[in-house]
Amino acid sequence: MEFFGLTLLGLAVGAFGTMIGAGGGFLLVPILLLMYPQDNPATITSISLAVVFLNAASGSVAYLRQHRVDVRSALRFSASAIPGSILGALAVSRVPRNAFEIILGAVLIAAAVFLLVSQRPTPAHHEAAEYDVFGPQIKHHRPTGLALAFVVGFVSSLLGIGGGIMHVPALVHVLDFPVHVATATSHFVLATTAVAGTAAHIASGTFTGSVLKRTAFLGVGVVAGAQIGAAFAKNAKPKFILRGLAIALLLVGARMLYHAFVAGTP
């Protein structure tokens, strides 16, 4: 029964995470923390990162078929984010669980507030973005993009949330990417950084029999859910995507801080 529930959870997380380009880890980690209060942050993040990889890989295939991924930018971002992702995966074992929940809740709420107060119309020039076989080509300040990618890789792997909750807003509001291109490009980068973080957890011996079983059942759900989310995202309005992301982040972040400060950690 537990594993059937994990598959359904993966389906929901995969669909919503892919639709907003966030990978779903920001929802999965808090839920796993509540489901498995005895597990340490390294175990939780290792499961989440592996699931985020499966979700992001499945969603990226769909987005590549839709020609929405800025492939050139995604490859550069990945090259910068992967070292940060590995460092984050190695650092999480040193973070106590209660501190982990506080950091996670604060990051989620900060990202939600940023999205809610900084929304603006998509610039008109995005309608004329140049496309070729590698998808849209968005002009941006490359050093800034690479620096952001490294930070996103580190924080996302440290918290096991995949990074889309930070990368999508950064691409849209800092690098001026169209929302639909930002979600698809972020998802592509998520696939590369999540697999790097997962490899670091495997090397450190975090994965055990029970962890692999949970990951497998969640993975079955997210692979299917990613295809559903990508299909909905194709016709979703940018404002809906950003607001949906902001509201989800706010609710989950508040729940995390409440559990850390009020309810206490078992």
Per-residue pLDDT at 76 exceeds 60: yes
Q: Which domain holds residue 109?
A: 2-263
Residue-level pLDDT at 211: 83
Determine the average pLDDT of the residues in 226-237. 77
Q: What pairs with residue 137 in β-bridges?
A: 130
**Tally of domains within the chain:** 1
Task: Write out the DSSP string of 30-84.
Answer: HHHHHH-TTS-HHHHHHHHHHHHHHHHHHHHHHHHHTT---HHHHHHHHHHHHHH
pLDDT in tens, 133-178: 577 888 889 999 999 999 988 988 888 876 777 888 889 889 989 8
Residue 13: which of 55, 64, 57 has the closest Cα? 55
Is 237 exposed, middle or buried, given 0-12, 13-18 or 19+ CB atoms closer than 10 A? exposed
Determine the average pLDDT of the residues in 55-65. 85
Residue-level pLDDT at 266: 45
Q: Bigger pLDDT: 240 or 156? A: 156
pLDDT in tens, 31-56: 888 888 888 888 888 888 888 888 78
Per-residue pLDDT at 265 exceeds 50: no
